[in-house]
Chain A
Amino acid sequence: MAEFAQTLVNGLTVGTLYSLVALGLTIIYGVMNLANFAQGEFAMIGGFAAFFLIQAGIPYPLAVVIAFAAAGIIGLIIHLLANYPLRQSEPINMMLSSLGVSLFLVNLAQYLFSPTPQVVESPLSGKSLNFFGIFVSQQRLLIAFVSIVLCVVTYLLLEYTRFGRAVRAASLDPDTAVIYGVPTKKISFLTFVLGVALTGVAGALVAPVYYVYPTMGISLTLKAFVVVVLGGMGNVVGAIAGGLVIGLIESLAGGYISTGFQDAIVFAVLFLVLVFRPEGILTKVQGEKV
């Protein structure tokens, strides 16, 4: 029983992290119609930023904030060079461009920082809490806490501010939004930067638990895509809920079936979801406009 509860708790903490990455991915998809395959690479950027800042003696909380900014700034440059010129062409081209960006970033990191995993020390490293026999490392709790806070803040931002309304308008119907005076170009900039910066924080948060290495983002991107499809592309609440579900499935599959087949099981679940509910679990089914 305790073992089962432990698996559940582990799944949920990882799940909050997936939620955070998927949240960034889903708002970018909603506004720009871009399946951003370079999303996980921003977690890698955040992770390395945290690693170097902590080595330079900067305290961990500040390092996380700077990781947010660093991922955002690099995101801005990439948006200008690789996404913005393709805004008028078919969505598949921007997706390919993001694959190129991913290849570029991963290999640049490998060239600059070497492929060996680096250990990041946080003040909470090695400490854990004991709830009735279930051990939770404090860093994992921090990951869950910060992820939840950021998800809620982003949700409120999208739901109740002028910026959020503009983002939602642009993702519902870009052409109409332009007619109503929504600066969609600017909104897509800001959304991309916000989306990847959130992922940057995710990278800085996992760094003390899983190490930092150049290819760390790839599996994160795949998981985030599964989450986003599960929750419905562009659906914010769906992404947050989907993250928790995938975290749980992965953890249970790893614990009770086989760690080798973990990824296959996650994708098999995705397959089933796509077959029975192609619109995602939380999205209402709509007829197609002709």
Chain B
Amino acid sequence: MNLQRLKFWSAILLGLGSVLASLYVQNMYLLNVIILAVISAILAVSVNLLVGYTGQISLGHAGFYGIGAYTVALLTTRWHWSIWLSFLAAFGLSGLMGLVLGLPTTRLRGHFLGIATLGFGVIVNVVLNNWTSLTNGPVGVRGIPAPALFGISLEYKNFFLGFALACLFVIVLLVYLVVNSAVGRAWKCIRRDEIAAQVSGINVYGYKLLAFAFSGGIAGIAGALYAAFMTLVSPETFDLNQSITIVTTTILGGAGTLVGPLLGTGILTLISEWLRNFHELRLVLYGLILVLFIVVMPQGIYPFVKKHVQLWFTPRKVKIQRGSEGRHL
């Protein structure tokens, strides 16, 4: 318990420290990369609620991301809402969409759920592309104002990074609190065995809906941040590839852990920036590396590393004893 508390407070300190440190980053390229990585991390954390904690796959998360981004874009440019109010609306509307998507799909399982959520993502993308009178079609929406906080304009990218990081840490903290509450226990129980959960008196349907709504809302916040950062949004950002990237990041990092999605985002960002050196071969190698990661560590990078670090520090005798216990099925 003491170790748990130590971990918790050091994580809080690390969060605060990195927010403060980010204010001093001046390199434009670095700022761009890190801000986009922070947004991806929020998306990964959001999908982790479904994939990791509740055991529900989502291949349409770009839909929520897009709804969040377009909510901010349209409310601020067309109806001149204040940016913070539109952030709130983005959270609310994406959460609502999560609920709406959840209503019919919570009865589905495994691959069926995957295809249904994928369909949701495709439909949102098609609507963004073709409902020209509202969304401006493939051209997108421009001129989203930069937010200001305590009189400081977040137009300066280092301030924006600080803000985005703060958002990420608040969200991670929130997720930490929720998954360690009764709600989180119900989710994990559903993930392990849905029927057993139902038999134990857990409202499976309700808790799944909650997971969908919460996850959708967080992805909406990521979208809102994206819109405010880029100042323009267009449908191509919110396509199937984006949905797939979000899920792969989470699973590659280690679904069902708090650190996994963050680690996954970090590693994939580093890899994809490094691969820029290879120009046209970039995505070819990216695909190859993805397959390699999954084949070598199907359980995810964070659990893999954790297990091996623990093995390293385990005395030989214990290791042999543990080995003799055999593999559980």
Contacts and interface: CB of A to CB of B under 8 A. Distances in A.
A is bound by B: yes
Interface of A: 29, 35, 81-82, 85-86, 89-93, 95-97, 99-108, 110-111, 218, 222, 225-226, 229, 233, 258, 260-261, 263-264, 267-268, 270-271, 274-275, 278, 288, 290
Given A90-B298, A103-B287, A271-B119, 19 more contacts: A85-B295, A93-B294, A93-B298, A96-B252, A96-B290, A99-B244, A100-B291, A101-B291, A102-B287, A104-B290, A107-B284, A111-B280, A233-B111, A260-B126, A260-B129, A261-B126, A264-B130, A267-B122, A270-B116
Given A102-B287, A111-B284, A222 B108 contact: no
B112 interface: yes
Contacts of B240: 218, 222
Given A82-B291, A93-B298, A102-B287, A226 B251 contact: no
B46 interface: no
A38 B298 CA distance: 19
Interface in B35-90: 51, 57
B107 interface: yes
Interface in B281-313: 281-284, 286-288, 290-291, 294-295, 298-299
Nearest to B281: A111
Nearest to A34: B111
B116 A107 contact: no
A285 to B, nearest CB: 13
23 contacts: A35-B111, A86-B298, A93-B298, A96-B248, A96-B252, A97-B290, A100-B288, A100-B294, A103-B283, A103-B286, A104-B291, A226-B115, A226-B119, A229-B112, A260-B130, A263-B122, A264-B126, A270-B116, A274-B115, A275-B104, A275-B107, A278-B112, A288-B195
Given A99-B290, A111-B281, A270 B115 contact: yes
Contacts of A108: 284
Contact of A268 (B123, B129, B130, B195): B123
A99 B243 CA distance: 11
B199 to A, nearest CB: 9
Contacts of A233: 111-112
A107 B115 contact: no
Nearest to B124: A264
B130 A258 contact: yes
A267 B298 CA distance: 30
Contacts of A274: 104-105, 108, 112, 115-116
Q: Looking at B114, B127, B247, B291, which has the most chain A CB atoms within 10 Å of its CB?
A: B291
Interface string B217-255: 000000000000000000000001000100110011000
A93 B195 contact: no
Top 10 closest A-B pairs, CB basis?
A: A104-B287, A103-B287, A100-B290, A267-B119, A107-B283, A100-B291, A264-B126, A260-B130, A89-B298, A275-B104
A99 B115 contact: no
Given A92-B251, A264-B122, A29 B111 contact: yes
Q: Looking at A29, A82, A274, which has the most chain B CB atoms within 10 Å of its CB?
A: A274
Contacts of A102: 287
B127 to A, nearest CB: 7
Nearest to A29: B111
Nearest to B247: A96
B17 interface: no
B290 A103 contact: yes
A278 B109 CA distance: 9
Contacts of B209: none
B1 to A, nearest CB: 32
Contacts of B286: 103, 107
| Interface size grouping (class) on chain B | 35 or more
Interface of B: 51, 57, 104-105, 107-108, 110-112, 114-116, 118-120, 122-123, 126-127, 129-130, 195, 240, 244, 247-248, 251-252, 280-284, 286-288, 290-291, 294-295, 298-299
B112 to A, nearest CB: 6
A78 B72 CA distance: 43
A175 B248 CA distance: 29
Q: Looking at B120, B290, B294, which has the most chain A CB atoms within 10 Å of its CB?
A: B294
Nearest to B111: A35
Contacts of B116: 229, 270-271, 274
Contacts of B284: 104, 107-108, 111
A101 B287 contact: yes
Contacts of B118: 222, 225
A107 B287 contact: yes
Contacts of A267: 119-120, 122-123
A96 B299 CA distance: 12
Contacts of B251: 92-93, 96
A104 B195 contact: no
A103 B286 CA distance: 8
Contacts of B122: 222, 263-264, 267
A110 B118 CA distance: 25
A93 B252 CA distance: 9
Contact of A100 (B104, B120, B130, B287): B287
